[in-house]
Chains A and B, each alone.
Chain A
Amino acid sequence: MDNSKMIVLEGLSKAFGQVQAVDKLSFSVQAGEIFGLLGPNGAGKTTTIRMLGALIGPSAGDAWINGYRVGHQDQDIRRSVGILTEAPGLYDQLSAERNLEFYAQMYAVGDMDTQIERYLKMLGLWERRHEAVGTFSKGMRQKLAIARTLLHEPNVLFLDEPTSGLDPQAARMMRGFIADLKSDGRAIIMCTHNLDEADRLCDRIAVIKGSLLALDTPTALRRKLFGRTVVFHLSESDGRFAEVISRFEFVQSADMVDNKLVVGMDEPEQHNPELIRVLVEAGAEIQFVGELRQRLEDVYLQLVNQEN
């Protein structure tokens, strides 16, 4: 097996009675990669993560984490991964520090005090370490849960909705934090419903709904579904310009919308100079040229709705 592939799934499936929660997922994630798991509620994201973290067994298929096989070397897997569970699951009666101490001991963390101090400070909870977690806000709990996930320095991370419940500032901090984790050479699988976040943070994205609907980089996903679109802002609206341009074979579509000429094509880097020249020759005054970025949200909705 390729060593850089730290997470490998082969036809991983899980059924709960009649419900096929996860259906034949196959993909792999390598070191230094953030892999986004997207999908509607009940798509099987949490179930997938639970299987990969050796919390529940697959009903079919296989998966390997750090070379350890799920369902066969579960203790090794548990030692080497960190899971941020969907619910923070902290002991409300105990202080933040006591919570982390407990988990540090469970993972047999060598330099426990240093690690706890490090992550509490990093996440801005150090001052409040003696307070009972029951008094913490949702965001503080989420941060503490992230600290717990990292104490034993796992090189594989599963983060189930890491920014849910965080305010915009805290969410941004958390995203920066996750991006840093990746640069330490970890392999990270992250579930999220925030498509903007997935777009910015993830190297690749899988959209699932029981089974795998699509898997690619965010950019490629956009292109695959919508192609690419270039917008020429002109000083005046004139249907003639669209006609002129439509003659080129590489132009898939050309429409005048107000004073904007919207052109669909595959390789704007190559063709734009030529189009600009032709437009100018035809008498157009070009104010701006830009690429229309489809929002990942549109891509996602398209994928998920196609299914129905």
Chain B
Amino acid sequence: MKKIWTLIRKEWAEVFKNRFVLFTVAFLPLLFTALPLIILYVSKSSGDFSDAIAMSDLPPQFLDMCDGLDASGCMQYFIVSQFMLLFMMVPMIVPITFASYSIVGEKTTRTLEPLLATPITTLELLTGKALAASIPAVVATWLSFFLYMIGARLLAVSPGVLGKLFDPLWLSAIFVVGPLLALAGVSIAVMISSRVTDPRVAEQISAIFVLPLIGLFVGQSTGLIFINEQIILWMAIGLLVLDFGLFAFATQLFQRETILTRWK
């Protein structure tokens, strides 16, 4: 345990001095905070929400969730919730960059060999690397979630709608599903890291695995899929299993010798 924590602290001390990584960790969450706020602001100043989209355009499942809101509030809620999924993507995308650099990066700077010479176990090593990558991403997401909430309240949304966003559905999406997604992203990055020799390649390949989630977002927007408590619950359970599987597999794949000696 102590070694894992030592490794995490080293990672942070080191990786955060890499401007590129710092940029990804900070930029994406900030972008995903600012973008919806701008859209909210623009659509608000261009008139009442209910003018923008007709109630009949909303997916019927959604209307059930508008319980206690008037038509305008329901519309606001719809728009704001569209962006919530973005916050679930952030913790998955951000740590991929981080993890790619922290493993393959150590190889290219030749610090991996002395590190692997120490009595750190592969599990400790990967756990440390995975946590070091996930924690900042998750924290950054949570911070931007709160920024988003505050911004949404100030710019556009009524207190009733905001209250809706603080219900278990969205809270568990952000605080449970988010971190689980982060771990999934990291496990994928770790797996790919042990097979490639260039951090940029690792990052790009890993990004491909994030596409399904982006698909989910697009599906949500067009009303194909709708997020509700049940889906969140199943997602959480599914992700938990997936995370365990992925991480166990990543640990299996990570052969100390292979990652040290493979150069093509």
* Contact B111–A56 (Cβ < 8 Å): no
Tell me the count of chain A residues lying within 8 A, CB to CB, of chain B.
Answer: 30
**Stretch of A81-89, A176-184, A213-221 that contacts chain B:** A81-89
* Contact B119–A89 (Cβ < 8 Å): no
C-alpha spacing A16/B261, complex, angstroms: 9
C-alpha spacing A90/B110, complex, angstroms: 8
A75-B121, A78-B119, A89-B109 in contact; A103/B14 too (CB < 8 A)? Answer: no
A57-B257, A105-B2, A105-B3 in contact; A91/B117 too (CB < 8 A)? Answer: no
Nearest B residue (CB) for A78: B119
Tell me the count of chain B residues lying within 8 A, CB to CB, of chain A.
Answer: 26
How near does chain A come to B12, taking the closest CB pair, in angstroms?
11
Q: B54 near A: Cβ within 8 Å?
A: no
* Contact B109–A92 (Cβ < 8 Å): yes
Chain B stretch 87-138: residues in CB contact (< 8 A) with chain A? 109-121
CB-CB under 8 A from A56, the residues of chain B are 256-257, 260-261
C-alpha spacing A90/B112, complex, angstroms: 9
Q: B208 near A: Cβ within 8 Å?
A: no
Nearest A residue (CB) for B14: A93
Nearest A residue (CB) for B17: A93
Q: What mask results when residues 215 to 232 of chain B are scored 1 for a CB within 8 Å of chain A, else 0? A: 000000000000000000
A87-B110, A87-B113 in contact; A94/B257 too (CB < 8 A)? Answer: no
The total of interchain contacts (Cβ-Cβ below 8 angstroms) comes to: 74
Specify which of B18, B110, B117 lies most central, judged by the most chain A CB atoms within 10 Å of its CB.
Answer: B117
* Contact B3–A106 (Cβ < 8 Å): yes
Chain B stretch 8-47: residues in CB contact (< 8 A) with chain A? 10, 13-14, 17-18
How near does chain A come to B234, taking the closest CB pair, in angstroms?
40
Q: B56 near A: Cβ within 8 Å?
A: no
C-alpha spacing A60/B208, complex, angstroms: 40
* Contact A55–B256 (Cβ < 8 Å): yes
C-alpha spacing A81/B119, complex, angstroms: 10
Q: A102 near B: Cβ within 8 Å?
A: yes
CB-CB under 8 A from B118, the residues of chain A are 78, 103, 106-107
Q: What mask results when residues 196 to 216 of chain A are scored 1 for a CB within 8 Å of chain B, else 0? A: 000000000000000000000
CB-CB under 8 A from B17, the residues of chain A are 93
* Contact A102–B10 (Cβ < 8 Å): yes
A56-B260, A93-B13, A93-B17 in contact; A102/B6 too (CB < 8 A)? Answer: yes
> What are the 3 closest A-B residue pairs judged by CB atoms, nearest first?
A106-B118, A87-B110, A105-B6
Q: Which residues of B contact A (CB under 8 A)?
A: 2-3, 6-7, 10, 13-14, 17-18, 109-121, 256-257, 260-261
24 contacts between A and B (CB under 8 A): A55-B117, A55-B260, A56-B261, A75-B121, A83-B117, A85-B114, A85-B117, A87-B110, A88-B110, A89-B111, A89-B112, A89-B114, A91-B10, A94-B10, A94-B13, A98-B13, A102-B10, A103-B114, A105-B2, A105-B6, A106-B115, A106-B119, A106-B120, A145-B114
Q: A56-B257, A94-B10, A102-B6 are in contact. List 17 more A-B contacts (CB 8 A).
A: A16-B261, A50-B113, A55-B117, A55-B256, A55-B257, A55-B260, A75-B119, A75-B121, A81-B117, A85-B117, A89-B115, A90-B111, A102-B10, A103-B114, A105-B2, A106-B3, A106-B119
